[in-house]
Amino acid sequence: MALDLSPQEASNIGTELQPRRSVIELRDVSKHYKDAGAPIVDRLTLSISEGEFVALTGPSGCGKTTTLKMINRLIEPSSGQIIINGQDVGDLPSHRLRQGIGYVIQNVGLFPHMTIADNVAAVPRLLGWKKDRMTPRIDELLSMVGLEPSIYRDRYPRELSGGQAQRVGVARALAADPPILLMDEPFAAVDPITRTSLQDEFLRLQQSIRKTIVFVTHDMAEAMRLADRVVIFGPQSKIAQVGAPTEVLSAPADAFVASMLGSGRLMQLLSCVRLRDVSLDRWPTLAQGLEGDERLAALSSAKIEGKNRVLVLDEAKRPLYWIYSDATGESSKVEVDCKLELDATSLRDAITQIVYCSHDCAVVVDGDGAFQGIINIQGIRRSLAPLAGAGTSAANIGVDK
């Protein structure tokens, strides 16, 4: 489906189209502190669906971390209701509530005197899990976050880098398989390269675990890259805009939101639109093993379409190599040097890859490696054309003229 950024359809990009059950509801929630003047959070109403990744972002002091902490009652709301799975959290003992919610913070908070395995097992142990259940779960989670269990299981937090410690923090939060994950600036304390790596890892992880995630970040680009839906707070957690990243980036609600997004919005937009969200070009293909007349017919058909080569696929439709035809009619094989995954690759990553590709285009495959189509610079420009039609030109989206 071609990219279309009407408000309704833009909010569906990268998410399921079917309505999902509401898991977390904040109903007119406020938080006041004595002698603080205005409330930190003032009458906030927000609904978060099952399996949804929602990022809360906004300026410092706007109440995003306070909101997160009220969900699992690390801070008690002054008024209003917080409903999780249909139950008012105020009616639950706080320890029972937190056993069903994973929590990841910026500085990780690993227990320094405990091994990595014991840190990951902390919540399952409180829940009374037996050792024969905990041990394989620890190894599964460490592998899931990219840490080889045989190497890291018996280490201590002081023996880890910042990025490795954050991975352990995520593993610990997931240990008891909670349906909800709260994350407060989890990647803010690491260097930019490690941060990008952790974001990539977490995006892949979320594709498989599909937790309901509430993620606090001051980094707008991080929010746009990771979340299904972004909530931009103004002062006192007043919602300035809420929507899918593509919707917010292409149509900021007002000058405040535009200022929060900053310059270079087109680059952010390119980062949050995946190849699965755009139209791919067809390309002539040929099954592996076909020779002689079949190959000549395929090359002839490709030439009629204005293409000088055919893509050869194996039995599972996986790309193998190109076949070119020269002026004498002879054909030659050339390796496919640029393959991109449909779900994992953003338009920004695609542009970077295509620039260095010898064929001026990239072959797009699904998670099993099966051929889905071709993407090139012209196709990317065509996919972004609706933005200009919606009044979002390169000039007003934050790109230099």
**CATH code, domain carrying 220:** 3.40.50.300
- Same-domain status, 232 and 197: yes
Asked whether residue 132 is domain-assigned, the answer is no
Query: What is the SS3 assignment for 194-254?
Result: HHHHHHHHHHHHHHHHCCEEEEECCCHHHHHHHCCEEEEECHHHCEEEEECHHHHHHCCCC
Residues 6+ apart with CB under 8 A from 196: none
| 144: in domain | no
E strands present in 37-130: 41-49, 53-57, 79-84, 87-88, 101-105
Classify residue 12: in a domain, yes or no: yes
- Residue 367's domain comprises 285-384
Q: How far apart are CA 271 and CA 347, in angstroms?
A: 6
Domain-embedded: residue 209: yes
The tally of CA atoms less than 13 A away on the side-chain side of residue 289 is 3
Q: In total, how many domains does the chain have? A: 2
Taking the CA atoms of 286, 287, 288 and 291 in sequence, report the sign of the dihedral they define.
negative
Print pLDDT tens along the chain (401 aa): 333 334 443 344 334 444 578 899 999 999 998 877 889 999 999 999 999 999 999 999 999 999 999 999 999 999 999 999 999 999 988 888 888 899 988 777 889 999 999 999 988 988 889 989 999 999 999 998 889 999 999 999 999 988 889 889 999 999 988 999 999 998 887 888 888 888 888 888 888 888 999 999 999 989 998 999 999 999 999 999 999 998 898 889 999 999 998 877 878 888 888 888 888 999 888 888 776 777 778 888 878 788 888 889 999 999 999 888 765 555 678 888 889 998 878 888 899 888 888 878 899 999 889 999 999 988 888 877 765 444 444 434 344 33
Report the amino acid identity of residue 80.
Answer: G
Residues 91 and 191 in one domain: yes
Same domain, residue pair 210 and 236: yes
Both 263 and 289 in one domain: the answer is: no
Dist CA 385 CA 185 (whole Å)? 34
pTM: 0.75
